[in-house]
Amino acid sequence: MKIGGGTFQLEVAANDHDREQGLMYRHSMPIDHGMIFIFGQDRQREFWMSNTLIPLDIVYVNSAGRVVSIKHGVPLQEEPTIPSDAPMKWAIELNEGVAAASGLRVGDKVEIPAAARDPEEN
């Protein structure tokens, strides 16, 4: 997936189990990798870093493909949660600093790949 000026290989978290697990318990992630979390519709959501060992950028994207916020996650931080600034449908987790390094900004449009457009039915 192209994000800002970079191209990334993203794992897809499209069901409840995968969304709950996320990137927990991993000690590292290649710089050009990440995870995209798929939800059914735009809604205000929040993430947390419980059991997540690597610092992350969390990019919240609405159903129009616009970045609504970019937040930073601190490893193992239980509270506070990390809320989106506006309703969102996708969250993309990248290594910390990668969103800025790729030139990504709030308001930018991203093209969501077909494989990440709809969540799996549970």
Round the average pLDDT of the chain to a whole number and report it. Answer: 94
Q: What pLDDT does residue 117 have?
A: 84
Provide the CATH number for the domain formed by 2-101 in this structure. 2.60.120.1140
Q: What pLDDT does residue 95 have?
A: 98
Residue 74's nearest CA partner among 55, 92, 58, 60 is 55
Q: What pLDDT does residue 98 have?
A: 97
Domain-wise residue ranges, the chain: 2-101
Q: What percent of the chain has pLDDT over 70?
A: 98
Q: What pLDDT does residue 121 have?
A: 57
Whether residue 15 contacts residue 116, with contact meaning beta carbons closer than 8 Å, is answered with: no
pTM above 0.75, yes or no: yes
Instruction: Determine the Cα angle at 79 with ends 95 and 122, to 5°.
Output: 70
pLDDT digits (tens, 9 = 90+) for 9-28: 999 999 999 999 999 999 99
